[in-house]
Structure 1
Amino acid sequence: MKEIDQYAILKPMRVTTVDNFQGEENKIILLSLVRNNEEGNIGFLKEENRVCVALSRARDGMYIMGNIHNLVMRNSIWPKIKKVLEEENAIGNALELRCEVHHDQITLVKMHAPFIIYNCT
């Protein structure tokens, strides 16, 4: 029996760091800003030019995963970004996925367990 590659749908996806993405854009960007520490240390995410690169490369949609509370702790960039996102009601605790075939089927992804890639026919 032939084994099905359940991740074949991901092969055209490009995964890269923000540094490698400068000067490029994409239709949809999934941006992971994983920084969790009690000190509020967010590394390169406190540098305005790098934040600009990260936030300006999506043509149609951007989804940012991260700890907004940690990002706003000790810098001047992220509180401004948070304010805009709040005004646009664009902060949530789940990623909404809609089936391209069955438009009424919506999955809210809050953790890795339900995030299973499959082809719907």
Structure 2
Amino acid sequence: MGVRFTELCIDAAETRALGGWWAEVLGYRMEIADDGDVVLHAPNGAGPNLLFLAVPDEKVVKNRLHIDLTPDDQQAEVDRLIGLGARRVDIGQGEQSWVVLADPEGNEFCVLAAES
């Protein structure tokens, strides 16, 4: 029996806004389903699709699962993401090689140092 990791589901208050934000960040194609869910289609070989599901609850605690991004230039990517509406957050990480940011709904994600 085989299995593939095909989607990562993300709860959102505003699925279109948050899905659109992540589509801009990742360059994924966005599709809005009839029920209002938003699917970001990953380019072939780029990983799972992201599925944004509408929920009435606000985010109140640190994520148990998060996205890591590995850019060619960490500082340039952090600057770009902040320009798109991300913000720096402190989750107790201390001094690390990665930068922790939050998307417009407060979901934490990391921007790693460029791979050598």
* Greater percentage in strand: 2
TM-score by length of 1: 0.23
TM-score by length of 2: 0.24
Bigger Rg, structure 1 or 2: 1
